[in-house]
Amino acid sequence: MRKMFRRLGICLLGALTLALPARAADDVVMKAMRDELDRSMRQLQLEKLDKPYFIAYRVQDRTQLSASATFGALLSGGISRARYLTVQVRVGDYQRDNSNFLAFPLHANGLTETLPLPIDDDYQELRRQIWLATDGAYKAALETLSRKRAALENRTTRENLPDFSREQPTTALEPPSPVKMDLARAEALVRDLSAIFRQQPEIFTSSTSLEVSDTRSWYFNSEGSVTTQELSAANLMAGAQTQAVDGMMLPDWVMASAHSMEELPSESELAVQIRAMADRLTRLRHAPLVDRYTGPVLFDGGAGPELFSQVLAPKFLDMRVPASNNLQIETYAAQSASKFQDRLGARVLPTFLSVVDDPTRPSYQGTPLLGGHTVDDEGVRARPTTLVEKGLLKTLLATRDPVSGIPQSTGSFRAFGAQPSNLIVAVENGKSQQELKDQLLSLVKQRNKEFGIEVRRVGREIYKVYPDGHEELVRQGQFDGLDEAAFKDLAAASRDLSVHTIPFAAYAGRLYMGQPGMPLVSFVVPSLLFEDLTLKPTAGELPKLPLSKPPFFDK
């Protein structure tokens, strides 16, 4: 509903008090950006050196609420606000400019200059700060382009890719729709939820935290793109940890994400999930350690999208490998590119699976999808992108830095590179959950195995499943060889899909969790049956158990 109201430009209850200041901020910030960009494009040039051919400004005004508690006691709480400017200055031309180059020693390149701005809507001071940042970025851009030209002068490149793609200018002006920041309510919520662990004597440590962020973003570039967006997220996490009887550390957590506090699950729903987690951890303390196992593994229900988000999703993001004046840096950077960049047109999934990234889709079977956006952080309009069609890799999510086979942006630049939005897996002739379980046990029988493995929560909840139907909770070790290659030979998938939404940011094929400002991404993925995976106990020394009970339960 909130997304619908945004599109209609209705600000609901806060309209009367918030609309006028918010519109005033839009006017002042955008005017300062527009006027300074116009002046810079006309006047910014050192004698006999390149003028900028492209300048872009992004201003982000972020209000953030955070509150955390442990065992019913508040640890921290507060609301902060900050405004940041990012300046991008490109010199040269679209074919070759100051981007896609790492100079050694590393220094500013004119593309990622970021500095704090006043939160007061003071036109003159905003202009002054933007002027200073632009001047510094321009000088850094010139220096980088000079070093790049010198480094590439005597090289022959196999493919002469442009450094920057030409894209259609976009105008997308989203009206302000700030979310409510209720610190007292947030502190009460984390206190009450964290107090649940007072009833769990076998949980050694725990914490519950809530973060709500609301970011008003303005973007303006010299090509004519003008965008404003309101991006918000509310993320609640309740984490707990205990030790098994042999000392193994056992963590678990419950996460919930939405666009605002009001859209999070109710306190009673969250309490049910947290109690279930605590009960699992208590049972897991006394569960046996998993033996070394090779055979069929079923990632059931929510474990399917969890696994997909961790292992496969980062591989769908393109990354331009930069050149450098240092061959060691260049070689290292080349190793960081996704292996999928060399596999366009190849089969990466079974023929019964397809994958689409769709930032325009608001929900799946009544469940909200929270990764949607109108334009990306480079001002390119977002649109659905088919990544995999019947197992064949068609393209990757791309920015304005062209890579081989992908000359244009897919409107996917968010955070610090290409990111997914709503990643949806389509299944052809999918199986019911019972059929998938039956196929798991059939494979167990074919391999003369005593049991199969079913994962219900990645890294936290795993069961031995026996042919007679009974299950045994075990402490999970680690999967060996569970990478993008394993997905190519999936045995089967369910027809029902589960939605998993998390703050997500990846770069160079790897996840970077816990980074500030990460966008929400929704994964819609089936249960996944692998025919052969190897699971083995975790290696390493185990810490000793505490010498006494927690004082709260020492009665």
Which pLDDT score, from 0 to 100, does residue 535 have? 93
Residues 533, 481 contacting (CB under 8 angstroms): yes
CA atoms within 13 A on the CB side of 234: 17
Which pLDDT score, from 0 to 100, does residue 334 have? 80
Which pLDDT score, from 0 to 100, does residue 554 have? 64
- For residue 382 the two structure tokens come to 């977002």
SS3 letters for 415-443?
CCEECCCEEEEEECCCECHHHHHHHHHHH
Please state, in angstroms and rounded to a whole number, the distance separating the CA atoms of residues 87 and 109.
11
- For residue 237 the two structure tokens come to 């996490």
Please state, in angstroms and rounded to a whole number, the distance separating the CA atoms of residues 517 and 232.
10
On the question of pLDDT at 408 being above 80, the answer is yes
| Range name among 202-206, 393-397, 420-424 with the lowest pLDDT average | 202-206
pLDDT tens digits, one per residue of 303-322 = 999 999 999 999 999 999 89
Of 18 and 33, the structure prediction assigns the larger pLDDT to 33
- For residue 305 the two structure tokens come to 């999208």
Contacts of 469 (CB under 8 A, 6+ apart): none
Quick check: bond before 550 cis, omega within 30?
no
Which pLDDT score, from 0 to 100, does residue 17 have? 31
Which residue type sits at 376?
D
Query: Considering the chain, what is the average pLDDT of its residues?
Result: 90
Calculate mean pLDDT across residues 355-384. Answer: 96
Calculate mean pLDDT across residues 6-22. Answer: 34
Residue 459: pLDDT band by 50, 70, 90 thresholds? confident
Residue 335: pLDDT band by 50, 70, 90 thresholds? confident
Which pLDDT score, from 0 to 100, does residue 23 have? 53
Give which of 356, 317, 357 is closest to 339, Cα–Cα: 317
On the question of pLDDT at 331 being above 90, the answer is no
% of the chain beyond a pLDDT of 70: 93
User: DSSP letters along 198-266, please?
Assistant: GG-TT--EEEEEEEEEEEEEEEEETTS-EEEEEEEEEEEEEEEEEE-TT--EEEEEEEEEESSGGGSPP
| Range name among 168-172, 206-210, 480-484 with the lowest pLDDT average | 480-484
Buried b (16+ CB within 10 A) or exposed e, 9-26: eebeeeeeeeeeebeebb
Q: Which residue has the tokens 């309101």?
A: 230
pLDDT tens digits, one per residue of 188-236 = 999 999 999 999 988 999 999 999 999 999 999 999 999 999 999 999 9
506: helix, coil or strand? strand
Q: How many CB atoms lie within 10 A of CB 78?
A: 11
Of 194 and 415, the structure prediction assigns the larger pLDDT to 194
Residue 3: pLDDT band by 50, 70, 90 thresholds? very low
On the question of pLDDT at 553 being above 70, the answer is no
Residues 144, 110 contacting (CB under 8 angstroms): yes
Residue 333: pLDDT band by 50, 70, 90 thresholds? confident
On the question of pLDDT at 22 being above 80, the answer is no
Please state, in angstroms and rounded to a whole number, the distance separating the CA atoms of residues 94 and 88.
14
| Range name among 62-66, 337-341, 500-504 with the lowest pLDDT average | 337-341
Please state, in angstroms and rounded to a whole number, the distance separating the CA atoms of residues 513 and 506.
8
On the question of pLDDT at 352 being above 80, the answer is yes
CA distance readout (Å), 362 to 12, 313, 370: 20, 20, 7
Of 538 and 250, the structure prediction assigns the larger pLDDT to 250
As a whole number of angstroms, the longest Cα–Cα distance in the chain is: 82
Could you tell me whether strands 417-418 and 413-414 are parallel, antiparallel, or unpaired per DSSP bridges? antiparallel
Please state, in angstroms and rounded to a whole number, the distance separating the CA atoms of residues 47 and 54.
18
Residues 521, 502 contacting (CB under 8 angstroms): yes
Residues 373, 379 contacting (CB under 8 angstroms): no
Calculate mean pLDDT across residues 116-133. Answer: 96
Which pLDDT score, from 0 to 100, does residue 13 have? 28
Calculate mean pLDDT across residues 153-170. Answer: 87
Of 262 and 1, the structure prediction assigns the larger pLDDT to 262
Residue 35: pLDDT band by 50, 70, 90 thresholds? very high
On the question of pLDDT at 552 being above 90, the answer is no
Which pLDDT score, from 0 to 100, does residue 544 have? 76
Which pLDDT score, from 0 to 100, does residue 2 have? 40
Please state, in angstroms and rounded to a whole number, the distance separating the CA atoms of residues 508 and 501.
21
Q: State CA 39 to chain mean position distance.
A: 36
| Range name among 91-105, 113-127, 529-543 with the lowest pLDDT average | 529-543
Give which of 419, 417, 411, 422 is closest to 170, Cα–Cα: 411
Give which of 379, 313, 315 is closest to 341, Cα–Cα: 315
Nearest-5° angle of CA 29, CA 35, CA 41?
130
Give which of 392, 305, 277, 301 is closest to 344, Cα–Cα: 392
Instruction: Read off the pTM.
Output: 0.91
Which pLDDT score, from 0 to 100, does residue 469 have? 85
On the question of pLDDT at 256 being above 50, the answer is yes
Calculate mean pLDDT across residues 383-389. Answer: 98
Contacts of 305 (CB under 8 A, 6+ apart): 497, 498, 499, 500, 523, 524, 525
Beta bridge partner(s), residue 364: 367
| 194 exposure class (CB count in 10 Å sphere: 0-12, 13-18, 19+) | buried
> Which range scores top for mean pLDDT: 43-52, 152-161, 419-428?
419-428
